[in-house]
Amino acid sequence: DVKVTQSSRYLVKRTGEKVFLECVQDMDHENMFWYRQDPGLGLRLIYFSYDVKMKEKGDIPEGYSVSREKKERFSLILESASTNQTSMYLCASSSDGQIKYFGPGTRLTVT
Amino acid sequence: GQQVMQIPQYQHVQEGEDFTTYCNSSTTLSNIQWYKQRPGGHPVFLIQLVKSGEVKKQKRLTFQFGEAKKNSSLHITATQTTDVGTYFCAGGGSGYALNFGKGTSLLVTP
């Protein structure tokens, strides 16, 4: 019953490290999303992709980049991790405007 | 850009009491989604509303979409301890992405 998976549930990285968060979906969805979730701030969109090799900035793209080389995989990259990027990162996918499935999340701590 | 405001931020009820959370958008929405997130979990899709004035029910949960498609509500009748969690609304606009409200955290005490 796998729908959206994320490479790690918990991750601890040091300031300045390059961090890769991987997301894979098995529903052949065109659209994939990366959100971060922080207490009191809800879910904020970082980047999304509506097709292979296509990407669009969300509300808070600074400090992040993404890669979508294959339809099923959407990667979030933190070029140089900083402590203010400590957060829960959620990946999601959709075939239309309806996001039905989120991944389990990656709780990233940057020390 | 599109803003979705959700109130209240927190709600603490006794088991058996009713609960309502409200979402308001600054612009007309094409649709609205509702999600539930249990503590330590990820958001789980509950329902999508598309039509103006639409009302949908799932057992004790009632979802409404306003006539102007700018507001929505989720009402839970006779809460149970299993209803504990954070409820999010997310508004769809003209693009691909959704804009999430900040959520209402519901605590139910027996």
pLDDT in tens, A53-107: 899 999 999 999 999 999 999 999 999 999 999 999 999 998 877 788 999 999 9
Chain A: residue nearest B5 by CA? A42
Half-sphere exposure of B107 (CA within 13 A, CB side): 5
Task: Please report residues of A whose CB lies closer than 8 A to that of B48.
Answer: 98
Ordered per-residue pLDDT tens for chain B, 110 residues: 558 999 999 999 999 999 999 999 989 999 999 999 999 899 999 999 999 999 999 999 999 999 999 999 999 999 999 999 999 999 987 667 788 999 999 999 99
Indicate the residue of A31, A59, A104 with minimum beta-carbon distance to B42. A104
Distance CA(B38)–CA(B103), nearest Å, equals 12
Give the torsion sign (CA, B63, B64, B70, B71). Answer: negative
Interface of B with A (CB under 8 A): 1, 6, 9, 30-31, 33, 41-45, 48, 88, 90, 92, 96-103
